[in-house]
Amino acid sequence: MHVRATTRPAAAVEAQWLAVGLFNGKDKDKDKDGGPIEPPAALRGTPLADLISKLQGSKDLGASVGDVTPVLGASGLAARGLTTFGLGSRDKFDPGAAYNAGVALARKLAARPRESVAVALPDAGDPSAIAPALIQGLIVGTRGTDLRKSEPARHPFGDLILVVPEELAIDLEAALRKGQVVGEAINLARDLANTPPSDKAPPALAGRFREVGREAGLEVEVWDEDRLRRERFGGLLGVAAGSDQPPAFVVLRHRGGDGPTTALVGKGVTFDSGGLSLKPSASMEDMKCDMTGGAVVLAALQAIARLASPVNVVGYVPMVENMTGGRALKLGDVLTHRNGKTVEVLNTDAEGRLILADALSYAVEHDPARVLDLATLTGACMVALGTKVAGLFSNDDPWADRVLAAARSVGERAWRLPLDADYLDGLKSGVADLKNVGGKWGGSITAAKFLEQFVGETPWAHLDIAGPSWADSDNSTRDAGGTGCFVRTLVALCDG
């Protein structure tokens, strides 16, 4: 898809479709009475302005985020068709709303091939943040989950044209570039999560990471099983023992300056049966997405490298299948991790923390300024926060605040949960340094407390993305399947 901008008046832009956003509640008195309301800025001064105003006032055109309505018989435009899309309340409009509005619009228009689509930049918020967010959403909305269908259900536009006011004082080239690069990175993370597990066993997924990383200009290392044994990755090797597929470990490096290094660690369980602590069949249906943390780390680093960000970021992704073969971990087995800590395994379905422990231990050995890990780690986090909010845990308040601020800046949602010292009591083992599960309560917290034992004094944060990483059903602003959540947050965090 070719993304470009124009400063021509919206009515004069030649395209197959022109899309104009609508705010609701802009004139509360008129809106309440059902009368005309102020038309969108892009159409003011045109014959269509009164029509759009009246249709919106009569509720024939929706303005909530997710609403998309074609306007039939529109005249006075160089474009062949006009559609409106909802932006929500003007006073609440932010990059998150722009992203969601873009997804909804693109999902509708991409149902058929479109040679060109022009979208008017909304006249609210900070345009340097709104423009890339809108483009990201438009790119994500053109990509469906139909990876193996004989006919695609969604079609990228030939040309995507952002219509901006001539007097707009922002770096349009940078905004367009960021929007396209980050949008494509989100789709990469989504595609990896949606890929069938038979096509992404650890060696195959590691090969894909190598290919994507090198194309983006990253330094890439891929470790095989022999290297993992030499490096004492006992947790990763223990989880891998039940699978015919060997584990892998991928290191991705972006060197963009002389400053401090941020380490990103992503869980890469390519399929999770639960091991001998076997999941019910229904609970396995979406376990191809249990490598989403790793996919998000790759996607964010791809975007950071393509944008030539002047930062230093290293990604670490342990990859494994959690299966039930004859050599599978048994309850009561004890593993020795990279940092020498021993762990009694009392639930083989709590495997993500076992592989992350090795990756975190290795990451902090290289003295990063800060570490962030992302993992589809616990169902308990979904019980606490639902499916749209990630749980954040940290041993460092300033670092946690930065992560939360980055998420808010792009419209993604995370909530900080406690990590008090007494939660460690539930992880005490009589035969080893730790056990891999706590008691009945606070499962997401004890999981995070387990991970904390492998980072030492390094500022560290953990995002449990089990909820927002996967959507069980479609709605107007997302597809069922992998969501690519927190790619935007990581790019903002590392650039900030």
Cα distance between residue 195 and residue 268, in whole Å: 13
DSSP per-residue letters across 262-325: EEEEE-EEEEE--TTSPPPHHHHTTGGGTTHHHHHHHHHHHHHHHTT-SSEEEEEEEEEEE---
Concerning whether 54 is annotated as a catalytic residue, the answer is no
Residue 281, burial from CB neighbour count under 10 angstroms (0-12, 13-18, 19+)? exposed
Which position among 178, 306, 338, 353 bears the catalytic label? 353
Concerning whether 80 is annotated as a catalytic residue, the answer is no
Q: Which of these, 459, 472, 439, lies nearest to 350 by C-alpha position?
A: 439
Q: Which of these, 351, 305, 368, 330, lies nearest to 495 by C-alpha position?
A: 305
CB 99 within 8 A of CB 71: no
3-state SS track over 102-126: HHHHHHHHCCCCCCEEEEECCCCCC
CB 115 within 8 A of CB 155: no
**How far does Cα 24 stand from its chain's mean position?**
28
Cα distance between residue 317 and residue 200, in whole Å: 14
Which position among 30, 177, 232, 279 bears the catalytic label? 279
Angle at 464 between CA 460 and CA 465, to 5 degrees: 130
Q: Which of these, 419, 402, 290, lies nearest to 349 by C-alpha position?
A: 290
**How far does Cα 118 stand from its chain's mean position?**
26
List, in sequence order, the alpha helices (H) in 386-436: 397-410
Q: Which residues are catalytic?
A: 279, 353
